[in-house]
Amino acid sequence: MSSKVLGSVQPTYLAWIPLFERMKMADVFIYVDDVEYTRGSFNRNRIKTANGPLMLTVPVHFDGDSKSFISQVKIDYSHKWQVPHWKSIEQNYQKAKYFGDVFSSVKSILTTKHETLADLNVALIEFFRQYLGVKTPCYRSSQILVEGLANEKLVNLCRHFGADHFIVKPGTEEYHPSEFFKSRGIEFKYLIASNKVYPQLYGDFLPGLSILDYAMNCGPNSF
């Protein structure tokens, strides 16, 4: 009997390369959007400019004492963030090899009025997933009728999709105790980040950027 591998991660704005590495490693992938949002997380990422990294941040309606899930956090459109974001991308990547492939789709997603942060983040990730040729089927946990909290929910998601392996990073035993999963019939597969080095604009290689930087420079089906 062949094993089936499930991966999951919280959807982040203009997500970074390791998310897609985890997705590619999985047979089924879950956007975990029904976890609590914390200030300054999931709504920002970095692109590269001639002057170094630039952080792009999506403003959201969020009270520091809120217990809202990522899927419930609404984007704050009173701040005119959309045009500065796509203009920053255009200005800094118009000389990238695959700018013409990527920019119009990203601009279209950014200028669409998504209600929640999760809606926006998933739309962007799905575009890059398809553009880069990652074929793993993906689902949002908030739209799956699976009960439980934290690791219990992850185990139940594995069972829901018939997976007997779950992807974790080394050194996350504190968050994902292996014995908890193993006792419930779920083994771990470990994701070792590749730390991809690829051609970039503007001099020396800068790691830890949005997947947008990789896509603009490396092109379709390259992942």
Task: Report pLDDT for 41.
Answer: 84
Question: Whole-number mean pLDDT of the chain?
Answer: 94
The pLDDT tens digits for 47-105 are 999 999 999 999 999 876 567 899 999 999 999 999 999 999 999 999 999 999 999 99
Binned at pLDDT 50, 70 and 90, residue 1 comes out as: low
**184 pLDDT higher than 60:** yes
**200 pLDDT higher than 90:** yes
In percent, the amount of the chain with pLDDT more than 90 equals 84
Task: Report pLDDT for 40.
Answer: 77
Residue 167: CB partners within 8 Å, gap ≥ 6?
5, 6, 7, 8, 22, 25, 26, 188, 189, 190, 191
Single-letter amino acid code for the residue at 218: C
Task: Report pLDDT for 68.
Answer: 87
In this structure, are residues 210 and 106 in contact, taking their beta carbons and an 8 Å threshold?
Answer: no
The pLDDT tens digits for 24-54 are 999 999 999 998 888 878 999 999 999 999 9
In this structure, are residues 210 and 15 in contact, taking their beta carbons and an 8 Å threshold?
Answer: yes
The pair phi, psi for residue 174, each rounded to 5°, is -60, -35
Task: Report pLDDT for 99.
Answer: 98
Task: Report pLDDT for 65.
Answer: 58
Spatial distance between the Cα atoms of 149 and 164, rounded to a whole number of angstroms: 19
